[in-house]
Structure 1
Amino acid sequence: MRIGELSKRTGVSPRSLRYYEEQGLLTSARSDAGQRHYSDAEVQRVLLIQQLFAAGMSSRVIASVLPCVDTPSDPAGIQSAFVAMTRERDRINADIAHLVETRDALDVLIKINREHWVEPPTASVPVPVTASA
């Protein structure tokens, strides 16, 4: 498939797909006219790359873990990819813990706020913020 079709099937812009190639995250075959052609397997790879980006990984880190997908039994890449993956997992776990703490703090603030309502608003009506005198 050409870049436009891959873009349509993944929801990723052609510009981003070209960037993925520049970073070594994605490969394509070239036609005689220089057009990029991708296999059907690249759809899943692009979706994985998107998921890793959404988790906060940089293209450099993604490039270091993708060899586990391409050649999972290659001894040369196993150890460095393992270190990168565990480091990223630990970072994500720390981010999750921070988000849970933030959510819990918001729950406390929401509880305090509700205690001061004379008449609770409905969920569909936004509560106006008023400045105190």
Structure 2
Amino acid sequence: MAQYADVIEIITPGQAAPGSRVDITVRVKNTYSNVISIMVGGALEYGVSPWPGIDFAENWANVDSAAVHAFGGSFIMPDRRVTIHAYSYWYGADGYWYYDDELTKSVDITAAPEPSISEFRIADFIKV
């Protein structure tokens, strides 16, 4: 259980096509009695080492007591199922970030849709 920065949810699709951009939102709740700085991080586990990171546009914020902050990010879907690891940290009065909580969620792979070719007639393109 988190001490101050509780990772409460990872929002992402349940499946994605290889090579596609996958958007992710990590929601973190401040459980402290005052405003604190919260940082988020993330990595993808799918059989490669080191685990690739998740790009977050904003990776830290000052969060009011009992408030939830949503951190948005993205990653490129690999060619296999991936487990997302989202981490939270809180900033101490001593100037250090402290690891606090983690949550995981899996994204399955889906086949990319086949491109479709529409049937057309030459007569549709010739003006008479």
| TM-score (normalizing by structure 2) | 0.27
The structure in which a higher percent of residues are strand is: 2
By relative contact order (CA 8 Å, sep 6+), the higher-ranking structure is 2
The structure in which a higher percent of residues are helix is: 1
| TM-score (normalizing by structure 1) | 0.26
